[in-house]
Structure 1
Amino acid sequence: MAAEGILPSVGSVGDSFDNALAESVNSSYKTELIDHQPPYPGAAELSLATAEWVAFYNRQRPNGYCQDLTPDRAEALYYHRQRHPHTEEALR
């Protein structure tokens, strides 16, 4: 890309600000875990709450980007389809 004068990202290296899906997840995280909760007493408590939120987000929460499946289920279906490309299975 550099040889063609194309910049790979509009953000700084390592951030997700130019990725719509990541921005959506970041927004949900801030809204659900940070903005509407009392302040966490320390980094350890925030880390634990973050891990619990991520587990909920991936395992239980349907996501429109994943055709209203949980991210875990969408990933499982993706890899199943890679191993068995000619099978038809229900999305749920």
Structure 2
Amino acid sequence: MAVWSGGGDVGGLVHHSDRGVQYTSIRYAERLDQVGVARSVGGEGDSYDDAAAESMNSFYKKGLIDFYGGWKGVMDVTIATMEWVAWYNSERLRS
């Protein structure tokens, strides 16, 4: 999303994922390398990193997808998601 939205320099960004085939493919890794994004993959059978991701997904779904609903198409969700990510990263209150 950071690369696609054209938000500027993504140097220093770390992309962390599970061991899903889409995240371990050669082309995916080459694209991350091309734009200067470091790759990180959790250990096999290690669920600790998934807890934070699942919490984030739940927050996103409850705060945007379920709360607003009534989406007319994929583009509406995509734009709303980019706005939500921008809000989450730069405007929300942090503890």
TM-score using structure 1 length: 0.48
Higher RCO (CA 8 Å, separation ≥ 6 residues): 2
TM-score using structure 2 length: 0.47
The structure where strand makes up a greater share of residues is: 2
